[in-house]
A and B are shown apart, each in its own frame.
Chain A
Amino acid sequence: MNTERIRSLSIQGAALLALSACVAFFSLNAIENMQALGLTTGLGFMGQTAGFDISFSVISYDRTSSTFGRVLLVGIANTLAVSSLAIIIATIIGMIVGIFQLLENWPLAKLCRTYIELARNVPLLLQLVFWYTCVLSALPHQKSSLSFMDSVFLNVRGVFMPWPEYSDGTRAFYVACALSITALVYLVRRSRRVQEESGEGKAVFIPFLLTTVGLIGGAWMIFGQPANWTYPVLKGFNFKGGTWLPPEFMALLIGLSLYTAAFIAELVRGGILAVSQGQREAALAIGLTNWQTMKLVMIPQAMRIIVPPLTSQYLNIVKNSSLAVAIAYPDIVSVFTGTTLNQTGRAIEIVAITMGFYLCVSLIISAFMNWYNRRVALVERT
């Protein structure tokens, strides 16, 4: 074929070859050096019993029987738990603060501005340490906890809450929930269809509420209460029963959310300001209110500007969650790249697995956001 194509292919081929040669050289050299030092390699250690305690885990972990492989899963689950919650909270706060800045309300706008400047300009690590040591560690001792209705307790050990446990009515409750969600989907669709056909709105909320109350109430009466609640009680050194969130988790969640929300708020503000002023004026001219203008005209057009940089903020949240180790939250870096590495000494394998994990999560988030971006991107009508 044409020479340009051949040339480009051969250059790419050569680059690929050089890259593979580099990777091969470094891997072989590492293997050789490790053999010379008598270091054992491989992933065999993943099946060994870990034997150490992990302070907090969103999946089950037992220190006497769980393996290093399980420790990796615990680390991954803990990292994903805190990152995904932080992404949701940061997005909500960021959206609100970003929009508030543009409302014609001077004190509110200034307040938002101050928050943004503070959160954006102080290093995240310091903020985490601040939340952990200055705010959460200053809470009272567990014997004098702050309590709400004698069932939720807040103290230096974290927050202790009642927790539902499985009971006879649990399964029926889940079925009732599923049915009422199906009903909601049906109601929304019907309302849209009716609106498109006749221009009349059709009520969604009231029928949905009635269906849900009927279904869940019915399930409760027939099959018994949906859950047995267990309440935290102070026993010995600590609270027992119910569920618990450690201060490490809360500090990391608050720190990550507030830090990233400030950046998201700026993205939202920038996105909205980038929409042509004429659009706003036109919307107001046809009689939409300020809020309707924002919701129906400005934000949909701003989204296509906001979404691509939002992706990097989400990636940052996941990567920044590795600062967890500073405040003793057992994320993947703390339990796997930290404790497991020390117990087993398999530096290369463990660092490679950890890097692979962050890479995978980042690529998945990017893929999802790219898909979402294509959905909200401006569709030009021809």
Chain B
Amino acid sequence: MNLKAKFLMGAATVCTMALGSAATAGTLEDVKERGHLLCGTSEGVAGFSAPNDEGVWVGFDVDACRAVAAAIFGDPNKIEFISLNSKDRFTALQSGEVDLLPRSTTFTLTRDASLGLDFAAINYYDGQGIMVRADLGLTKASELDGVTVCLRTGSTTELNLADYFSANNMSFQSVVFDKSDEIRKAYEAGRCDVMSGDRSQLAVRRSQLPDPSAHIVLDEVISKEPLAVAVRQGDDAWGDVVRWSFNVMVLAEESGITQANVDEVLATTNTPAVKRLLGSEGEFGAYLGLPADWGYQVVKHVGNYGESFERNLGKETAIGLDRGLNALWSDGGVMYVPPAN
């Protein structure tokens, strides 16, 4: 997008704030009435949210929206995707332009408490990292005194980096870009020595470099970045729908239910917890204002958490991330969601 247009859009979002009436309650009713979900995505980050060759939005963050659409409509395609840059994303959510925002957004106190939004579910536990050229021979982040760092504007990254260098009494110089691609180009051209960002993003950019093996992501993690799905504050019922549409994916993985075997499990299982999760027993759907089989629909159409991870980010993809912190708690990770009881 043209940058001047982007600036105008910023002004336009301000106008939306002035014109529109804030949707404070009843997002679920609004969505049902509208017949589709408004999902705020990135401008294209491979693995998280980007259109594929056929122009269909795919990715790990996209799956969070697909799960909600599947739970409400039984159809993961009843979604309108709205591509947002990191500056416009919160205003778009606040003004009702989107219903939910799964856009690699870090859950922080300031955002939670002062921006009129709530974080319904943490879908990826990330941390900020540093990528360097392998031939520099660096192994530790503490050897980085005096480096030039390429990074992206409009995120928690800039602050974390400054804090990290200050805490370690090191100096640095930043070159701040608006787009992921521009960071990669500047880094390739040698404008900066290192690149910093969420480790998942670094993995994406590394996979796009001509020779990924010539670059290493240092082991140090300089911040906690719990990436979460944001919803508007003040509509708790909607927050519940989004939260449990995500939770059901993790619970399905815990119970070994996959996209492939969900029908079979539903037909044969004798476990009450699984029956309740998939909706053949109990009233969870009614509690949330969703159809009784909402859990089944999510797993059927989107798969469980592990499947979504492997399909979009895992070892078989170009990005090649391992589960790390995002493994289930029972496998040594921190992915732990409340039980569906």
How far is A142 from B153 in the complex, measured between Cα atoms in Å?
25
A30 to B161, CA, bound (A): 35
Q: Please give, as numbers and ranges, the residues of chain B lying within 8 Å of A30 by CB-CB distance.
A: 17-18
Which residue, of B10, B95, B111, has the highest number of chain A Cβ atoms within 10 A? B10
Which A residues touch B332, using CB under 8 A? none
Residues of chain B lying within 8 A (CB to CB) of residue A52? 158-159, 161-162, 174
Q: How far is the CB of A347 from chain B (nearest CB, A)?
A: 5
Answer whether residue B286 sits at the interface, using C-beta atoms and an 8 A cutoff: no
Is the pair A137, B232 in contact by a Cβ cutoff of 8 Å? no
For chain B, the count of residues having a C-beta within 8 Å of the partner chain is: 56
Set of chain B residues within 8 Å of A334, measured between Cβ atoms: 153, 176, 178
In the bound complex, do residue A345 and residue B111 qualify as a contact, i.e. CB atoms below 8 Å apart? yes
Q: Is the CB of B110 within 8 A of A63?
A: no
A236 cross-chain contacts in B, Cβ below 8 A: 145-146
Do residues B18 and A63 form an inter-chain contact, with CB atoms below 8 A?
Answer: no
Which residue in B10, B17, B114, B189 is a CB contact (below 8 Å) of A40?
B114
Q: Which residue of B lies closest to A25 (CB)?
A: B18
Asked whether, in the complex, the Cβ of B22 is within 8 Å of the Cβ of A342, the reply is: no
Query: Is the CB–CB distance between A342 and B3 below 8 Å?
Result: no
* Residues of A bordering B, CB below 8 Å: 26-27, 29-30, 33-34, 36-40, 51-55, 63-64, 125, 133, 137-138, 141-142, 156-157, 235-238, 240, 246-248, 322-323, 325-328, 330, 333-334, 337-339, 341-345, 347-348, 351-352, 355
**A50 to nearest B CB, angstroms?**
9
One of B85-93, B209-217, B323-331 at the interface: B85-93
Cα distance A327–B181 in the bound complex, in angstroms? 12
8 further A-B pairs in the complex, CB-CB below 8 A; given A29-B18, A33-B17:
A39-B114, A51-B163, A55-B175, A55-B176, A237-B147, A238-B146, A325-B178, A342-B86
Complex formed: what's the CA distance from A137 to B190 in Å? 8
In the complex, chain A residues whose CB is within 8 Å of the CB of B3: 125, 322-323, 325-326
Task: Kindly report which residue of chain B lies nearest to residue A246, judged by CB atoms.
Answer: B175
Partner of A34, one of B13, B17, B185: B17
In contact, B13 and A156 (Cβ under 8 angstroms): no
Among candidates A27, A38, A133, A351, residue contacting B116 with C-beta atoms closer than 8 Å: A38
Chain A residue at minimum C-beta to C-beta distance from B114: A40
Chain B 213-234 interface mask (CB, 8 Å, partner A; 1/0): 0000000000000000000111
**Min CB distance, B143 to chain A, in Å?**
10
B191 touches A343 (CB 8 A): no
Distance in angstroms from A60 CB to nearest chain B CB is 15
Nearest-CB distance from A72 to chain B (Å)? 16
Which of chain A's residues have a CB closer than 8 A to the CB of B116? Answer: 34, 37-39
Instruction: List 10 interface pairs A-B (beta carbons < 8 Å), by A numbering.
Output: A34-B116, A52-B174, A64-B162, A133-B185, A142-B190, A237-B146, A328-B178, A347-B14, A347-B90, A351-B14
* Nearest A residue to B91, CB-CB: A347
Minimum Cβ distance to chain B for residue A66 (Å): 11
Contact code string B181-222 (vs A, CB < 8 Å = 1, else 0)? 010011001110100000000000000000000000000000
- With a CB–CB cut-off of 8 A, which chain A residues contact B147? 237-238
- Chain B contacts of A337 at CB under 8 A? 7, 10, 87
Residues of A within 8 A of B111 (CB): 345
Closest partner residue, chain B, to A30 (CB atom): B18
- Checking B17, B145, B155 against A342 with a beta-carbon cut-off of 8 angstroms, the contacting residue is B155
Nearest-neighbor residue (CB-CB) of A248 within chain B = B175
CB of B4 within 8 Å of the partner chain:
yes
Does B19 sit within 8 A of A, measured CB to CB?
yes
Given contacts A30-B17, A39-B114, contact A53 B174 (CB under 8 A): yes
> What's the minimum C-beta distance from A205 to chain B, rounded to whole angstroms?
45
Measured in the bound complex, the distance between the Cα atoms of B146 and A198 in whole Å is: 66
> CA A52 – CA B4 in complex, angstroms?
24
Could you tell me which residues of chain B, from 226 to 247, have a CB within 8 Å of some CB in chain A? 232-234
Q: Is the pair B90, A328 in contact by a Cβ cutoff of 8 Å?
A: no
A152 to B90, alpha carbons, bound, how many Å? 45
> Is B148 a contact of A157 with CB atoms below 8 Å?
yes
B177 — nearest CB in chain A belongs to which residue?
Answer: A328
A323 CA / B7 CA spacing, docked (Å): 9
Closest Cβ neighbor of A346 among chain B residues:
B114
Chain A nearest Cβ from B128, distance in angstroms? 13
Q: Assess whether B271 is interfacial by the CB under 8 Å rule.
A: no
Contacts A156-B189, A323-B4, A342-B86 hold; do A328 and B182 have CB atoms under 8 A apart? yes
- Complex Cα distance, B154 from A238, in Å, reads 26
Contact B17 A347 (CB under 8 A): yes
Contact A26 B18 (CB under 8 A): yes
Q: Are B22 and A36 in contact (CB under 8 A)?
A: yes
Which single member of B24, B162, B186 contacts A51 (CB below 8 Å)? Answer: B162
Complex CA–CA separation, A328 to B149 (angstroms): 12
A327 contacts which chain B residues (CB < 8 A)?
182
B268 at the interface (CB under 8 A from A): no
Task: Give the CA-CA distance A156 to B232 in the complex, in Å.
Answer: 44
Q: Is B166 an interface residue (CB 8 A)?
A: yes
A122 to chain B, nearest CB (A): 14
B115 within 8 A of A: yes
B94 within 8 A of A: yes
Interchain CB contact under 8 A, A339 and B18: no
Q: Is the CB of B153 within 8 A of A345?
A: no
Partner of B22, one of A37, A138, A323: A37
A203 CB → nearest B CB, Å: 51
Inter-subunit contact B190/A53 (CB<8 Å): no
B172-A53 in contact (CB<8A): yes
Distance from A11 Cβ to chain B, minimum over Cβ atoms (Å): 27
Contact B114 A345 (CB under 8 A): yes
Contact B10 A138 (CB under 8 A): no
Closest residue of B by beta carbon distance from A324:
B3
Q: How far is the CB of B315 from chain A (nearest CB, A)?
A: 33
